[in-house]
Amino acid sequence: MALGLTEEIVVIGGNKLHMMKGGTGDPLLILHGAGGNRGWLSYVQDLSNQFTVYLPTHPGFGASDRPNWIETVPDMAAFYTWFQEEQGLENIRAIGFSMGGWLAAEMAATCGHAFSKLMLVGAAGIKPQNGEITDIFIITPAQVNDLTFYDPKQAPEYDQIYGQTPTPEEINLGERGREMAVRVCWKPYMHDPRLPALLERVKIPTRIVWGRQDQLVPLECGELYQKAIKNSELVVIDNCGHVPQIERPTDFVKTALEFLN
């Protein structure tokens, strides 16, 4: 496990935020997607060998409180810039996955000193012009899982994450997270109409990473992010779905470390 791995509760504006932290080196903030915090997986461990990783569980997910005032992803972005101030974590590296990528993009667009480098992985937040972002709220969690992967057999931790029968507590926490995701992502669905224009403010090094066969958030969205953020680069991982960090962890960690270092 990571050097000095801890789980702690930090209090921001009177609200408890559950956070895992571990590793060594400069801080790296990881923002999870709408499926919730999957914990200290192998890609996190690999990154923690070179960075001190901060892995919070978003408000309304898992063991974190749900502030009544957080009703949109921009609201959550405001919460996290507050978190950064309180924790002394401004102007740091960050990776955002899916909804967490949207969250990171909002933070970068509205707070110029939030990040020093930014990775967006399969990020929601921009409405595609040709395809569409799959509506994960009208299908079952099992159907979402099926659409998440190009080939689950190549995901080393697939059985560990998805193969166990969830406990009643895990089911309840999953439903709680799903409710929060609906609350902040529903209208308009999985995007912020202002965001493409606001991203012109982002001047930091940005790498956008996408699985070519992403069936949840189409590659077109990655291309739109690259177009909106000046001097950003798009890295496409072949034979990969929505979660390259889980499906192709070796390739993902390689491109992440190459960029973040």
Residue 69 has pLDDT above 80, yes or no: yes
Mean pLDDT, range 216-230, rounded to an integer: 98
Strand-pair partners of 27: 52
Contact 135, 144 (CB under 8 A): no
pLDDT, residue 165, reads 87
The confidence score (pLDDT) of residue 1 equals: 62
- Percent of the chain scoring above 90 in pLDDT: 95
* Domain locations along the chain: 6-260
Segment 193-220 mean pLDDT:
98
The residues pairing with 52 across neighbouring beta strands, listed in sequence order, are 23, 27
Whole-number average pLDDT of the chain: 96
User: Is 70 exceeded by the pLDDT of residue 139?
Assistant: yes
Assess whether pLDDT exceeds 70 at residue 227: yes
DSSP state of 31: E
The residue-averaged pLDDT of 186-191 equals 96
Expressed in angstroms, the distance from the first to the final Cα of the chain is 21
Query: From 3.40.50.1820, 3.40.50.620, 2.60.120.380, 3.40.50.2300, which CATH number describes the 6-260 domain?
Result: 3.40.50.1820
- Identify the pLDDT of residue 2: 65
The two most distant CA atoms of the chain are separated, in Å, by: 47
What Cα–Cα distance (Å) separates residue 149 from each residue in 4, 157, 182, 191, 244? 32, 12, 22, 22, 9
Residue-level length of the chain: 261
Q: Name the more confident of 162 and 197.
A: 197
Question: Can you give the pLDDT at residue 3?
Answer: 67
What distances in angstroms separate CA 29 from CA 4, 97, 162, 167, 241, one per listed residue?
16, 11, 24, 29, 23
| φ, ψ dihedrals at 92, nearest 5° | -120, 170
The arithmetic mean of pLDDT across residues 116-121, rounded, is 98
pLDDT at 163: 85
Q: CA 23, CA 44: separation in Å to the nearest integer?
A: 9
